[in-house]
């Protein structure tokens, strides 16, 4: 069994649990995906499968190397590829659907966080800032960024203002609330990184438990 799938974030909603509790969930349009390449320890040094998300893509956006890669697999070009571990048997051309998961599974979700542009130290690094009273003249500034005499420079890694967000984020050990196999939807308890239509990777958590 292949242990992950590629999808797109639809948005958030809420569902009722069996005990009547109202649970916030994120809806992921996952798959269908196809196995493009199978990697083995003998040839590649590790076991994995390369998986692609089935979606429309213009041939003008495919390089010659990519076209040859897909032709070798006998698969139409795909835009988004990812690698997953697998247990048991897996072959090139196999379809991966949301039914690899079930309610209660523990999963990890990888996505790109929302970009927030250039931000100051209070928002970016949670600095407390200065006093808010009248006349202090020091409210949202970072303060000292180094000594003047020695080393007479700003040390690498100093927390300062800068571009915030747009990073790869992994949220671990989330729970699958519900699977809609007919519409290729996964309902995940809680929030996942990114905005609507953002690409995400959903995979079984390494230290998690399978659902009943």
C-alpha angle with apex 10: 117 to 119, nearest 5 degrees?
A: 10
pLDDT at position 119, please? Answer: 96
pLDDT band at 87 (very low <50, low <70, confident <90, very high): confident
The answer, yes or no, to whether residue 208 has pLDDT greater than 90, is no
User: Is the pLDDT higher at 64 or at 110?
Assistant: 110
Q: Is the pLDDT of residue 115 over 90?
A: yes
The yes-or-no verdict on residue 58 having pLDDT over 80 is no
> Of the given ranges (1-10, 50-59, 122-131), which has the lowest mean pLDDT?
50-59
What DSSP state is assigned to residue 11? E
The pair of three-digit structure tokens given for residue 9, joined into one six-digit string = 């974030």
Cα–Cα distance list, 195 to 37, 54, 111, 166 (Å): 29, 20, 9, 11
- What percentage of the chain carries pLDDT values higher than 70? 98
- Please state the φ and ψ torsions of residue 170, each to the nearest 5 degrees: -115, 120
Indicate the average pLDDT of the chain. Answer: 89
Task: Report d(CA 212, CA 207) in Å as an integer.
Answer: 16
pLDDT average, residue stretch 86-112: 88
* Residue 113 clears pLDDT 80, i.e. is over it: yes
Return d(Cα 76, Cα 160) in angstroms, integer.
Answer: 46
pLDDT at position 66: 84
N-terminal to C-terminal alpha carbon distance within the chain: 17
CB atoms under 10 Å from CB of 2, counted, come to: 20
Indicate the SS3 state at residue 118. strand
Q: Is the pTM of this model over 0.85?
A: no
Q: What is the pLDDT of residue 91?
A: 81
Measured on CA atoms in the order 104, 110, 111, 117, is the torsion positive or negative? positive
CA 182 to chain centre: 23
Highest mean pLDDT, choosing among 46-50, 67-71, 121-125, 144-148: 121-125
Q: pLDDT tens digit string along 25-43? A: 999 999 799 988 888 888 8
| Alpha-helical runs (H) found in 57-187 | 64-73, 121-125
Going by pLDDT thresholds of 50, 70 and 90, the confidence category of residue 162 is very high
% of the chain residues with pLDDT over 90: 45
Give residue for tokens 């953002």: 198
Domains of the chain by start residue, with CATH: 4-116+169-204 (2.40.30.10), 117-164 (no CATH)
pLDDT above 80 (res 161): yes
Q: For the chain, how long is the longest CA-to-CA vector?
A: 71
């Amino acid at each position: 069994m292949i242990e992950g799938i590629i999808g797109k974030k639809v948005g958030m909603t809420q569902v009722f649990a069996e005990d009547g509790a109202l649970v916030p969930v994120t809806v992921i349009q996952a798959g269908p995906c196809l196995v493009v390449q199978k990697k083995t320890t003998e040839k590649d040094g590790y076991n994995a499968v390369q998986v692609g998300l089935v979606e429309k893509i213009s041939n003008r956006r495919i390089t010659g190397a990519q076209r040859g890669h897909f032709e070798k697999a006998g698969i139409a070009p795909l835009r988004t590829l990812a690698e997953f571990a697998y247990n048991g048997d897996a072959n090139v051309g196999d379809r991966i659907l949301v039914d690899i998961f079930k309610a209660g599974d523990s999963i990890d979700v990888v996505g790109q966080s929302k970009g927030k542009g250039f931000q100051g130290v209070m928002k970016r690094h949670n600095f407390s800032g200065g006093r808010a009273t009248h006349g202090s003249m020091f409210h949202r500034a970072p303060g000292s960024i180094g000594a003047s005499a020695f080393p007479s420079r700003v040390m690498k890694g100093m927390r300062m203002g800068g571009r915030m967000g747009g990073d790869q984020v992994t949220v671990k050990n989330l729970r699958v609330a519900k699977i809609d196999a007919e519409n290729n939807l996964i309902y995940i308890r809680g929030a996942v990184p990114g905005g609507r239509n953002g690409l995400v990777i959903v995979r079984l958590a390494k230290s998690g438990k399978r659902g009943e």
